[in-house]
Amino acid sequence: MRLKIATVGEPVLRRDTQELSKEQILSPSIQDLIEHMRETLRDAPGVGLAAPQIGQSLRLAVIEDSADYHKTLTESDLKERGRTEVPFHVIVNPGIESRGAAIATFFEGCLSLPGFTALVPREKEVRVRCLDHRGEPRIIDASGWYARILQHEIDHLNRTMYIDRMDSRSFSSLDNYTRHWKDRPPQSSISQ
C-alpha cells in the first residue's frame, strides 16, 4: 500500500519524534509500516523516507539507493558524489556523529518538497548507531552519498528539512536545475 507523503508546511514534519522499543519494532503494526514505507519509497521513487514524511512521529526511516537510480548519472558523477548502491534497510532511533571535518556540497531534493532542489553542505563521513528492523543494535559507517542520505533522513527525525541547511541562493525548481545547473560544478550555481 502506497502511503501519502507529507509536504513542506505540514506540522508533522516539524514535530518531535518518539523512540521505539524492540517490542514495538517487532509488532505487526510497525512491521507493516516498514513494508508500506518500502513500497512508498520505491514508488515515489526516492532513496530515503522517514516516518514523519508519512504522518508518523516515530524515529524510523527506510533507505535504499538502487543501482537503477544511477543509470542517468555518468561514471564521473557517481565517483564525484561517492555514490554506490545501498541495499534496502531500516534505521530506528538513530544517533549520528561526524567521522571527519570534510564537507561536500551537492544539490539535494526531498520527497516532501517535490519539484525543487538546492545545494546542501553535508559531512562526507558519518557514523550512525541505531536499531535495525529486528530491533538489533547496528553501527553504520558511511561515506559519500550514503552519508548524505543518512544525514537527510535523520534530519527529518529531528524536525529539520534540507531547506533549513541549504544555500538559499541555490534554491531552484527541478526544471531550472536541469536547464541551467545540472552539468555545471555545484559551486558555480551560487557564484553567478
Residue 153 annotated to the active site: yes
Tell me which residue of 48, 42, 35, 38 sits closest to 68, measured CA to CA. 42
Furthest C-alpha separation in the chain: 53
Whether 13 and 6 have beta carbons less than 8 Å apart is answered as yes
Terminal-residue alpha carbon distance, the chain: 44
The catalytic position among 64, 108, 123, 153 is 153
φ/ψ of 116, rounded to 5, equals -135, 160
Rounded to 5°, the CA angle 148-91-118 comes to 25
For the annotated catalytic residues, the residue numbers are 153
